[in-house]
Amino acid sequence: MSVLDLPALTRILRENAGADESVDLSGDILDTPFPDLGYDSLALLQAIGVIQRDFGVQLDDDAAAAETPREFLALVNGAELPSAELV
């Protein structure tokens, strides 16, 4: 799995949950709470679905409860890959 970084996360959020034009997502937002960025838990759930599909990871419910991008990225990048099926 590739490491999910902040630019990729903001792109996924913008593409799937929109963006509040009054919020600058290109600045230092790692420790800014998601509600201050215009994203709620539903937006995170949408992002989680995309990340699980595109990055091939399984995320638990803790990811949707992340309060900041830094916390979310740590949970995603620490996620385990699904176990391969033995043939």
CATH number of 44's domain: 1.10.1200.10
Residue 24, in any domain of the structure: no
Buried b vs exposed e over 24-48: b needs ≥16 C-beta within 10 Å? ebeeebeebebeebbbeeebbebbb
Question: Hey, how many other C-beta atoms are within 10 angstroms of the C-beta on 9?
Answer: 19
The overall pTM is greater than 0.85: no
Structurally, how many domains does the chain consist of? 1
Residues 9, 73 contacting (CB under 8 angstroms): yes
Residue 49, in any domain of the structure: yes
DSSP SS3 for 57: coil
Residues 13, 43 contacting (CB under 8 angstroms): yes
Amino acid 85: pLDDT:
42
Which domain, by its residues, includes 43? 6-19+29-77
Q: Running along the chain, 87 residues long, what does each successive block of 10 average in pLDDT?
A: 84 85 82 93 91 87 88 84 46
Residue 64, in any domain of the structure: yes
